[in-house]
């Protein structure tokens, strides 16, 4: 079954390793790990409960610990690093890419950071300072400074001889960068052009001098959008002001940004930290999740408080209590559909002030259409179930109003939050459900109070 061979292979390894650890056969685990490439070891660690993960890490060959750390997701990496001695951290970061080095160092507590930097040699310490000089989440923090640069006035033959002399190219080198004497970026010579043209042509004739560059302070999500839109494999990073070449960003780091951005929306809509590791310790996970539960408890109490205004009505008509959950629930679902789409639209750069009015109108129209459909249906069900046609009309009216409210709230809340610089994915759903709960309860119990008591 070739379709699943890779996953099966990893799964099999995982089972072997877990069993061996449980049996205390550490030598065998060490042997298995020695044959496992760093990227698979990273997957093994990420798929292991915390206790097994710690034991596994002790058995990873220190020479490849750096490579494994580079492959780990941030949360898991931080957990492991915080258990390592500063000297070992310094050793493991020696061969790391600049961007991973920066990420590791940024995650360290202050005192550990001092010890780690203290254990580095002068050259690495300089690299560390350099890596930390760019803001987290900026192009600078993503880039590697390892670039291949050439001059515009040489022939391809000279370039070819230079590359042979240089040996090894940085991973993902699809462009050589053409710079002037001040190290200003003036163009890119694609490796494909170098390979398919006569060696006596001159670089400046063939280079692409319209190739876009990335300003070092650009936000990483925006960099990712550029990569995605232009199908780039790598791009040059330049100083914001004088256009000096500072480094390059490669698609493998962008893939991480794209996955993280996409996951961020999904996880924060459920009130989860986007770094959350599936196998984090129980206490840490409980703590992280409890904030969201606390906020939700407040909104649920607020809804209960609103319902308490109608205690008199509920006293007379207990059937209202039975039906009271339906309208808020439908509003919540309809609202999150709109909210989810709008949050995604904002993330993809599709929503802006030329089309947001249109969007609001569209979502209002959908709310009205679905409102008509579901209020007719619920009216029928309730009228037949309770044999009470006024009650049917009351719940239908409340349903219609709440689906309209859900459309408006779902479309406008993320846009307003975004303008206030609040992350719509994180705050949007709690604000939304508060609106749909309260509108739903008011509309249902309020109308019932007017017409049924």
* Separation in Å, CA 137 to CA 105, 141, 272: 14, 6, 20
Residue 348 touches a copy of itself, criterion: CB under 8 A: yes
We find the least distance from the C-beta atom of residue 109 to a copy of itself, in angstroms, to be: 25
For a copy of itself, which is the closer residue by CB, 116 or 303?
A: 303
For a copy of itself, which is the closer residue by CB, 4 or 420?
A: 4
We find the least distance from the C-beta atom of residue 69 to a copy of itself, in angstroms, to be: 15
Question: Among positive and negative, which fits the CA dihedral 173, 175, 180, 183?
Answer: negative
Task: Round to whole Å and give the CA distance between 92 and 163.
Answer: 29
We find the least distance from the C-beta atom of residue 117 to a copy of itself, in angstroms, to be: 28
Q: Return the residue of 36, 65, 93, 340 that touches a copy of itself, per CB under 8 A.
A: 340
Residue 36 touches a copy of itself, criterion: CB under 8 A: no
We find the least distance from the C-beta atom of residue 152 to a copy of itself, in angstroms, to be: 19
Residue 383 touches a copy of itself, criterion: CB under 8 A: no
Residue 291 touches a copy of itself, criterion: CB under 8 A: no
Residue 3 touches a copy of itself, criterion: CB under 8 A: yes
What distance lies between CA 98 and its chain's CA centroid? 21
Residue 4 touches a copy of itself, criterion: CB under 8 A: yes
Q: Return the residue of 154, 321, 393, 416 that touches a copy of itself, per CB under 8 A.
A: 321
We find the least distance from the C-beta atom of residue 229 to a copy of itself, in angstroms, to be: 4
CB neighbourhood size of 87 (10 A)? 13
- The answer to whether the CB of 136 falls within 8 A of the CB of 191 is no
Q: Which stretch binds a copy of itself (CB under 8 A): 82-90, 110-118, 125-133, 269-277?
A: 269-277
The pairing of beta strand 149-150 with beta strand 214-215: unpaired
Q: Return the residue of 254, 360, 405, 417 that touches a copy of itself, per CB under 8 A.
A: 254
Residue 375 touches a copy of itself, criterion: CB under 8 A: no
Q: Which stretch binds a copy of itself (CB under 8 A): 55-63, 80-88, 101-109, 254-262?
A: 254-262
Task: Round to whole Å and give the CA distance between 380 and 151.
Answer: 78
- The answer to whether the CB of 152 falls within 8 A of the CB of 186 is yes
Q: Return the residue of 60, 108, 330, 360 that touches a copy of itself, per CB under 8 A.
A: 330
- The answer to whether the CB of 44 falls within 8 A of the CB of 17 is yes
- The answer to whether the CB of 382 falls within 8 A of the CB of 313 is no
- The answer to whether the CB of 349 falls within 8 A of the CB of 225 is yes
Residue 307 touches a copy of itself, criterion: CB under 8 A: yes
One character per residue 126-165, x = contact with a copy of itself (rule: CB under 8 A):
----------------------------------x--xx-
* Separation in Å, CA 157 to CA 161, 165, 202: 6, 12, 9
- The residue assigned the tokens 């042509």 is 201
Dmax over CA atoms of the chain, in Å, equals: 95
Task: Round to whole Å and give the CA distance between 437 and 404.
Answer: 13
Q: Identify the helix (H) or strand (E) that includes residue 427.
A: helix 424-441
Q: Return the residue of 32, 78, 112, 300 that touches a copy of itself, per CB under 8 A.
A: 300
One character per residue 39-68, x = contact with a copy of itself (rule: CB under 8 A):
xx-xx--xxxx-------------------
Residue 397 touches a copy of itself, criterion: CB under 8 A: no
Task: Round to whole Å and give the CA distance between 247 and 249.
Answer: 7
Task: Round to whole Å and give the CA distance between 279 and 276.
Answer: 9
Q: Which stretch binds a copy of itself (CB under 8 A): 27-35, 108-116, 120-128, 247-255?
A: 247-255
């Amino acid at each position: 079954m070739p379709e699943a061979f890779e996953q099966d292979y990893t799964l099999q390894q995982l089972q072997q390793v877990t069993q061996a650890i449980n049996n205390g056969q550490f030598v065998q685990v060490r042997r298995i790990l020695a044959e496992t490439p760093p990227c698979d070891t990273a997957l093994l660690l990420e798929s292991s409960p915390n206790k097994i993960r710690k034991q596994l890490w002790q058995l990873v060959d220190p020479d490849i610990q750096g490579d494994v750390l580079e492959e780990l997701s941030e949360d898991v990496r931080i957990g492991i690093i915080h258990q390592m001695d500063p000297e070992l951290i310094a050793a493991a970061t020696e061969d790391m890419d600049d961007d991973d080095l920066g990420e590791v160092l940024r995650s360290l507590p202050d005192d550990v950071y001092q010890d780690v930097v203290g254990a580095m040699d002068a050259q690495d310490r300089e690299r560390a300072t350099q890596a930390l000089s760019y803001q987290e989440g900026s192009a600078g923090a993503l880039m590697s400074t390892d670039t291949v640069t050439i001059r515009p006035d040489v022939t391809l033959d000279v370039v070819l001889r230079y590359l042979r002399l240089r040996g090894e190219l940085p991973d993902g080198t699809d462009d050589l960068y053409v710079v002037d004497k001040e190290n200003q970026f003036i163009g890119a010579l694609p490796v494909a052009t170098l390979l398919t043209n006569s060696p006596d042509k001159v670089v400046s004739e063939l280079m692409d001098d319209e190739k876009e560059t990335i300003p070092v302070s650009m936000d990483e999500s925006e960099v990712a959008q550029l990569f995605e839109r232009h199908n780039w494999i790598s791009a040059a990073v330049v100083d914001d002001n004088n256009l000096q070449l500072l480094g390059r960003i490669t698609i493998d780091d962008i893939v991480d940004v794209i996955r993280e951005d996409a996951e961020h929306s999904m996880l924060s809509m459920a009130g989860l930290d986007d770094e959350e590791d599936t196998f984090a310790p129980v206490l840490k996970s409980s703590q992280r999740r409890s904030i969201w539960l606390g906020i939700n408890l407040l909104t649920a109490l607020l809804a209960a408080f609103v319902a308490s205004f109608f205690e008199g009505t509920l006293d007379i008509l207990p059937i209202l209590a039975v039906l009271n959950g339906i309208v808020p629930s439908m509003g919540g679902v309809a609202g999150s559909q709109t909210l989810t789409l709008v949050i995604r639209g904002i993330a993809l750069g599709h929503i802006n002030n030329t089309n947001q009015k249109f969007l609001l109108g569209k979502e209002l129209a959908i709310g009205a259409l679905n409102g008509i459909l579901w209020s007719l249906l619920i009216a029928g069900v309730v009228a037949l179930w309770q044999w009470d046609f006024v009650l049917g009309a009351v719940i239908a009216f409340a349903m219609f109003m709440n689906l309209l409210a859900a459309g408006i709230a779902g479309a406008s809340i993320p846009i307003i939050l975004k303008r206030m610089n609040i992350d719509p994915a994180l705050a949007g759903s709690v604000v939304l459900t508060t609106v749909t709960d309260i509108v739903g309860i008011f509309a249902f119990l309020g109308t019932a109070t007017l017409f049924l008591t």
